[in-house]
Chain A
Amino acid sequence: MAERGVNRRTFLRALSAIPVLGALAAFAAPLLRYLKPNLDPGLGLPEGRLRSLAEMDLPQGEQLALGRVEELAEPWSSRIFVYTQRYAQYTPEQARVATIPGVAIRLPWKVSFPGFKQGEEPTDIVIFSRICPHLGCIFNYVPNWREVTAGYGGYVPPEERRHGLMACPCHLSIYDPADRDRPGRVLSGPAPRPPYYFTYEIRDGVIVITSAEPGGIA
């Protein structure tokens, strides 16, 4: 009949609760694992070559020949394309292929773009993923900046940025593809960073997209 402190019965009850809770947790853990989607260990691999699971989480990109450099000769001309990436994932349809829409833009001046030779050599062609780094919508390349002001949240660019811009219809982020310090700089809106870029090479006058900046898929 202890008025204060813990009496023996309560103490023993608390002590016996520990193994019971442990058993419940042991049951609950696989149930939670049940919610996580499975990875198919053999997806898209040649027979007899199995990579580690960590490696398979990385998406596998394909090389894409975008077109000849002359096709993008005019300043502010652009070309949209769809880049294919392959994920290791188990679905009822077995394979999962994700596509990333992108846009290549010819600039009237040269910038240091990380997608071209790691940004060491200036280039006037920039290639961005059109997946908005804010919440994953597909944004548009808008050659006429007045359209950005009219339909994308009233942003009026300063004099030196009155040229082709990139704008997202979902939450009105606006990017400048031709920023001299950081191509794709966020001018307005909630986006936390510039859009993801594609790396590319020019082989015999053909623009070949080799891969996407990692992390750029939503």
Chain B
Amino acid sequence: MLDRVREWLRERKEKLDLFDETNVDRLDNPLYALGHIVYFSWIVVFVTGVLLMIWYEPTTHGAYNSILRIQHEVPLGWLIRGAHKYAADMLILAIMLRIYRMYFLGEYKRPNELTWMILFASLVLAMISGITGYLLIWNQRAFWAAKTVLSVAVYLDQIPIIGASKFGSAIAFIFLGGPAVGQGALTRFYAIHFGISALLLIAVELYFIFTRRKRFGLSPTAIVVLLLMIVATSYIFPAEMGRRADPNRTPLPILSDWYFLALYQYVKYTPPLWAGLGPGFLITYGMLVPFLDRSKGRRPSERPFFTVVGVMALTYFVVFTTLIMFNIAVIDRDPHIVLVMTSVVLVIGLLLELRYRRRRRAAEAAAPKPPPRVVGARPAPTAG
């Protein structure tokens, strides 16, 4: 048993492909440059982040002012801050697109299971890094995002049996460094925000050194284009400041960064315990997909159920994001519609899967039986 696990791990470690670094021959297709873009934007985020640390002041009194100073007084401060923000957005967008590419093209199948799992975990970590990062601005959005996100954790204590250990409250307490969003929380968020990136970057560099892989398949032109995109975005749309955090007033409407918007809409629709469990199930599903999907084919049409689930996830992401941006939510009506739609779509996916399997079985039965295999014999020519 242990030997089989070890063998499984050995094979996947050999075939690890974290940043598409084995896909160097497909770089004409931007879909296959996504891994390189992930790595590139990560480096930009890291370098600009270290530069920002020079001017940033991690206290509840000074944080907002120090960022105002970076934005308006420090020479090129607007560019460093804009590049940090927009490169981080690019990073998350590239990870998401790559996850969808791997999902729809079945790239998570053997021997890429481990690559997929690491990639999926890196999306979760990047999002944690994002939410801990925007508390550092200490504006209204940051304050309320931190407050609501960590209140969700407290509701995990309501789970029967395991909830009695109060592990949900413990999570909130550990992240916040106390019972409320204050200086303790700011210090810890600062540490987590930098720590995740720094430790993972070291791990990735070690991986490149030990496996002697190529880091980067991007051409100089592609790098210049990406950098210009970042600079232009930070110039045209300077990174927002928002209003200073006010613990006694909740802004209306309250919006977070784009990748959390859909989740915010979901939180409106569900009782608080499910607001914590739902994303948990989603992450579990994502991590376990390579083991749930036992089909042989890699094309989307060869595994209808999983394709339908993927399309549904993408649709919900887009629709929920749009709804929250326009502040549309009829709480008495919408959750039922979402529930019914989800069930109907899942059933349709299941039916498609059954039909596909029945047809394939029929096709196999109709095909002429191959002659009994003889060792060393040449394969017989197939009919049709």
Contact = CB atoms under 8 A, between A and B. Distances in A.
B331 to A, nearest CB: 5
A61 to B, nearest CB: 15
A144 interface: no
Contacts of B148: 135-137, 170-171
Interface in A19-53: 35-37
A169 B251 contact: yes
Contacts of B170: 36
B177 A37 contact: yes
Contacts of A87: 178-179
Contacts of B177: 37
Nearest to B180: A98
B250 A135 contact: no
A172 interface: yes
A93 to B, nearest CB: 7
Contacts of A163: none
Nearest to A92: B183
B4 interface: no
Interface string A89-121: 101110010110100000000000000000000
A155 B332 CA distance: 7
A91 B179 contact: no
Contacts of B331: 153-155, 172, 188-190
B144 A217 contact: no
Interface in B91-115: none
B373 interface: no
A42 B311 CA distance: 58
Given A35-B174, A91-B182, A169 B332 contact: no
A91 B177 CA distance: 9
A87 to B, nearest CB: 6
A91 B187 CA distance: 11
Contacts of B252: 140, 151, 169
Contacts, number: 102
Interface stretch (B125-133, B266-274, B286-294, B301-309): B266-274
A218 B174 contact: no
A137 B271 contact: no
B271 A192 contact: yes
Interface string A150-176: 010111000000000000111110000
A134 interface: yes
B174 A135 contact: no
Contacts of B176: 37
A137 B250 contact: yes
Nearest to B148: A135
Contacts of B183: 91-93
Nearest to B328: A154
A139 interface: yes
Contact of A136 (B147, B173, B174, B330): B147
B268 A171 contact: yes
Contacts of A140: 250, 252
Contacts of A172: 268, 329, 331
Interface residues of A, number: 36
Chain A interface main SS type: loop
Given A168-B250, A190-B272, A192-B271, A218 B147 contact: yes
B332 A170 contact: no
Interface in A56-106: 82, 87, 89, 91-93, 96, 98-99, 101
B268 A89 contact: no
B247 interface: yes
A89 B182 CA distance: 12
Contact of B173 (A37, A135, A189, A191): A37
Contacts of B330: 153-155
A135 B168 CA distance: 14
B151 interface: yes
A172 B254 CA distance: 11
A138 interface: yes
A49 B152 CA distance: 37
A44 B328 CA distance: 47
A83 B331 CA distance: 31
B275 interface: yes
A58 to B, nearest CB: 12
A190 B275 contact: yes
Contacts of B247: 99, 138
A135 B248 contact: no
B349 interface: no
B379 interface: no
A205 B246 CA distance: 33
A135 B178 contact: no
B253 interface: yes
B269 A169 contact: no
Interface in B316-352: 327-332
A92 B247 CA distance: 20
5 cross-chain pairs, A with B, having the tightest CB-CB distances, nearest first: A169-B252, A135-B151, A135-B148, A154-B330, A138-B250
Given A37-B177, A140-B252, 19 more contacts: A87-B179, A91-B178, A134-B151, A134-B272, A135-B147, A135-B152, A135-B272, A136-B148, A137-B144, A137-B250, A137-B254, A138-B250, A169-B254, A170-B144, A170-B148, A172-B331, A190-B270, A192-B272, A217-B180
